[in-house]
Amino acid sequence: MKEVITSIRKVSIEVSKWFGYATAVVDKIEVDKSRFPQNNSLCKFGQWYDKDEWNLSSFEEYVQIGHHHLKLHALFGEMFAIVNKEQKTSFFSKLAGATSELPKKDKKILVKKYQEFKHESESLLSLLKLLQVKVNEMEHELAELKAA
């Protein structure tokens, strides 16, 4: 059971990293998109989830975790697309080194998507903690049964 808890903690760290990447995208800090792959099965979290090495899929929280995971990938892709869409700047602006700002409409959408991402991340982390509690409870129940 300790391995299960450790694996849940490791994927929780991955979720926290994603939030950091999302914050960097919103702050227009260069982020390598490969750090957060579009395909939800290619990230470390997705590999952990799809593998279900400890048969956690019988827990309702586990199923909900999958939905939040998919939503995070979708939101990150949308935020990344907003920030990186081609901005039309004049030749002279480029020569002068002017950087284009996001249009006000896009900024509003980006902030909304970021808030959704934050909410989804927090929900996912809460579900992972709840799953961890349930696994701990199972471990204690098993220990009591063995002792009886």
108-131 as b/e, with b when 16 or more CB fall inside 10 Å? eebeebbebbeebbebbbebbebb
List C-alpha distances in Å: 51 to 8, 37, 68: 13, 18, 17
pLDDT of residue 100: 62
**If one looks up domain 2-84+100-139 in CATH, what number appears?**
1.20.120
Q: Whole-angstrom Cα distance, residue 66 to residue 57?
A: 10
Q: What is the residue whose two structure tokens read 């919103």?
A: 26
Distance of alpha carbon 46 from alpha carbon 94, whole angstroms: 40
pTM of the model: 0.83
Average pLDDT, consecutive stretches of 10 residues, N- to C-terminus, the chain (148 residues) = 91 93 86 75 92 92 96 92 67 50 91 97 97 92 83
Of the candidates 122, 117, 127, which has an alpha carbon nearest to the alpha carbon of residue 73?
Answer: 117
Contact 131, 56 (CB under 8 A): yes
pLDDT score at 99: 53
Per-residue pLDDT, 59: 93
pLDDT at 89: 47
* 121 phi and psi angles, rounded to 5 deg: -60, -45
Going from N- to C-terminal start, the domains of the chain cover 2-84+100-139
Nearest Cα neighbor of 77 from 33, 116, 108, 47 is 33
Q: What is the pLDDT of residue 94?
A: 47
pLDDT score of 147: 86
Q: Extract the runs of DSSP E, i.e. beta strands, from the chain.
A: none
